[in-house]
Amino acid sequence: MAESKMAEAKKGTEILKWANAKGEFVRKPSSFRNWITKDGSSGFPPESGRYHLYVSYACPWAHRTIIARSLKGLTKCITMDVVDYHMGEKGWRFNPAVKDATPDTVNGFEHLREIYFLANAEYEGRFTVPVLWDKKTKTVVNNESSEILRILNSEFNDFCETDEQRAIDLYPQELRKEIEEVNEWIYKDINNGVYRAGFATKQEAYDKAVCEVFAALDRVEEVLSTRRYLTGSTLTEADVRLYTTLARFDCVYVGHFKCNKKRIMDYPHLWDYLRDLYQTRGFGDTTNRHHIEHHYQESHLQINPHGIVAIGPDIDFNAPHNRDTKFS
């Protein structure tokens, strides 16, 4: 087993090729960018049972779409499969022997990469989650999490299970400008910032990235001192996008990615905010710490060569937060 892990660690250094000459992690763009539209003009009209999500509970980008699917009451309309938390030599795989993972119930494949090749036999990009799949045309509609999040928010309202879920709008017109502004710096310095710190291959690159992470967290802490959510009193996609990073921060980013200047628990407003979201339907019940902790520490063998999973930390996400009454 040890020899197997060491061999995989050598192959796992493929991720280090994402670094530039300065040792900075550079994320590659998503490849499939089609849209599902209510009027069908895109060629992909919304239909119940037609579309399928391939996700990982470990991946923060995929987690965005899992939350949106739950919040909007689309769990019956859009089916979903979950990959194994361990990413091996061939990338994400389907392994129903792992708790909370599933087989590929649509195409019967063993690895996620096979889905990409079914959509495009000459595909040369990365095999990432989430994937929004069209069962009818057997192709990937979209694999950009931020766009899938918006598709689920607006294009399937006719299929939401309840009126309350139908009324949820994570991207309201009157807040779009502020949402875009918040998304921009939070993505750069927090969502992707933790990866820029964790996957840095030179000290200077790490120092720059990790300082930007904590400067941005300090900024969020200040914002949340006067409002319940990032843009005010309304839960939006900006909160969904930040949540998936915060929920992983103390569990894995502090130790595994060396983002250890502070924990989220050390920020009074951020820590209350994180618990507030966790205790909201669609957030905590889709957060799988086992998948999260085991994925990062067992899969990133170039960082953690022996694949040893840390025992902690102890985190009580269900402790009272009082933000609902404080900002009522």
Helices of type H across the chain: 2-12, 60-71, 112-119, 145-154, 163-167, 176-186, 193-198, 203-223, 237-248, 268-278, 289-299, 323-326
For 150-194, write each residue's pLDDT tens digit: 999 999 999 999 999 999 999 999 999 999 999 999 999 999 999
For the chain, how many helices (H) and strands (E)?
A: 12, 4
Q: Residue 8 above 90 pLDDT?
A: no
Distance in angstroms between the alpha carbons of the first and the last residue of the chain:
54
Residue 2: its pLDDT value, please?
44
pLDDT of residue 226: 98
| DSSP β-ladder status, 139-142 and 131-134 | antiparallel
Pick the closest to residue 253 from 302, 203, 214 (CA basis). Answer: 214
Separation of alpha carbons 299 and 200, rounded Å: 17
Question: Which part of the chain is CATH 1.20.1050.10?
Answer: 18-24+171-280
| Assigned CATH topology for domain 31-167 | Glutaredoxin (3.40.30)
Percentage of the chain lying above the pLDDT 70 cut: 93
Task: Determine the 3-state secondary structure of 80 from DSSP.
Answer: strand
What letter does residue 253 receive in the DSSP assignment? Answer: I
- The tens digit of pLDDT for each residue in 234-271 reads 999 999 999 999 999 999 999 999 999 999 999 999 99
User: Is 59 noted as a catalytic residue in this protein?
Assistant: yes
Question: Edge-to-edge, what's the strand order for the sheet holding 139-142?
Answer: 79-82, 51-55, 131-134, 139-142
For 178-187, write each residue's pLDDT tens digit. Answer: 999 999 999 9
pLDDT digits (tens, 9 = 90+) for 201-229: 999 999 999 999 999 999 999 999 999 99
pLDDT tens digits, one per residue of 56-98:
999 999 999 999 999 999 999 999 999 999 999 999 999 999 9
| Catalytic site residue from 59, 77, 251, 259 | 59
Q: Are 4 and 12 in contact (CB under 8 A)?
A: no
Please tell me the predicted confidence (pLDDT) of residue 9: 44
Choice among 57, 116, 195, 267 that is catalytic = 195
Separation of alpha carbons 98 and 171, rounded Å:
35
CA separation for the pair 89, 12 (Å, rounded): 7
The neighbour count for residue 91, using CB atoms within 10 Å, is: 17
Task: Pick the closest to residue 236 from 163, 300, 172 (CA basis).
Answer: 172
Residues above pLDDT 90, as percent of the chain: 89
Give per-residue pLDDT as tens, 109-150. Answer: 999 999 999 999 999 999 999 999 999 999 999 999 999 999
Predicted confidence at residue 31, as pLDDT, reads 82
| CATH number given to 18-24+171-280 | 1.20.1050.10
Where along the chain do the CATH 3.40.30.10 domains lie? Answer: 31-167
pLDDT at 323: 97
Residue at 147: amino acid letter: E
21-61 residue pLDDT tens: 777 767 667 689 999 999 999 999 999 999 999 999 999 99
pLDDT of residue 7: 46
> Mean pLDDT for the chain?
94
C-alpha–C-alpha distance, residues 2 and 55, integer Å: 28
206 is catalytic: no
How far is C-alpha 29 from the geometric centre of its chain's CA atoms? 15
